[in-house]
Structure 1
Amino acid sequence: MTISENDPRQPFEQVAASLRREIERGDIAPGQKVGSVRDLAARFHVSPTTVQRALRLLRDEDLLVTTGRGNFARDPKQASRVTESAGGGNLSEVLRQLEHVTSQLSDLRGRVERLEAGLPDLPVENK
């Protein structure tokens, strides 16, 4: 699978969405290893950093458990119960949006700092 440049979501959000679908459909069963960062980076044609951000998002949604042996899928039904008990059924969506806004803010901060330092602004890259 490749990440779409036409998708308005960040690449890490696209990777997370794909893995989320696989976990929710049962293609990746509860307790099953999701794959190594290197394997997922090759599969999605993205950097390991992008995969790590996607995995972090899924951990925040309680769909993954990370141990010293790797990343393992959780039962999506259990994950949704944890999310709902934490204060509403849309917590995972809020977390996803917060991650996206934080990423954009970080990019903008770097661009402003470069401009203030009198350095040329770097072209916006597809992340």
Structure 2
Amino acid sequence: MTISEDDPRQPFEQVAASLRREIERGDITPGQKVGSVRELAARFHVSPTTIQRALRVLRDDELLMTTGRGTFARDPRQANRVATNAGGPSLTEVLRTLEHVTSQLSDLRSRVERLEAELPGAATENK
């Protein structure tokens, strides 16, 4: 699987979503090793840092467990029970959403500044 440039989510979010689907469908079973960071980076055509961020998301959501021997899938029903009992989005989900919104806002600010700089008379107004 490759990461889609058209997807508004960050690459690590796309990787996490893909692995989440595999765990929830049972393609990756509880206790099964999900692969090393290098293997996953090659599979998804992303950097190891992107994979580490994706794995952190899934660990925070209690879908993965990392030990000295590797990273393994957990039972998604247990993770869902924890999320359901929490009564709303987890702090991790809120922070992840906030990070995404902040990134989008920064991109928009840069675009507006570029457009304003291209307007006729912009150079004389800024002086």
TM-score category (smaller protein): 0.7 to 0.9
Greater share of helix: 2
Paired residue secondary structure (1:46): coil
- Could you say what secondary structure the match of 2:72 adopts? strand
Q: CA deviation at 1:51?
A: 0.2
5+ long unaligned stretches in structure 2:
107-127
Structure 2 counterparts to residues 1-127 of structure 1, below 5 A: 1-85=1-85, 87-88=86-87, 90-91=88-89, 95-102=92-99, 105=102
Of the structure 1 ranges 76-85 and 43-52, higher mean CA displacement relative to structure 2 is found in 76-85
| Higher CA-based Rg | 2
Task: In structure 1, give the amino acid aligned to 2:89.
Answer: L
Q: Is the 8 A contact 1:29 1:75 kept in 2?
A: yes
1: distance between equivalents of 2:81 and 2:8? 29
Q: CA deviation at 1:103?
A: 5.9
Deviation track 1:75-125 (CA, whole Å, cap 9, x = no partner) reads: 10011111222x22x435x633422423664895xxxxxxxxxxxxxxxxx
Identical-pair percentage: 71
Amino acid at match of 2:25: R
**1:52 Cα deviation after fit:** 0.3
Give the gaps of 5 or more residues in structure 1.
Answer: 109-127
Give the conservation status (yes or no) of the 8 Å contact 1:62–1:79: yes
When the two structures are superposed, what TM-score results if normalisation uses the length of structure 2? 0.75
- Number of equivalent positions: 107
Distance in structure 2 (CA, Å) of the matches to 1:66 and 1:106: 28
Distance 2:103 2:3 in 1: 22
The offset of 1:57, in angstroms, is: 0.2
* Whole-angstrom distance in 2 between the partners of 1:22 and 1:96: 20
CA RMSD across the alignment: 2.3
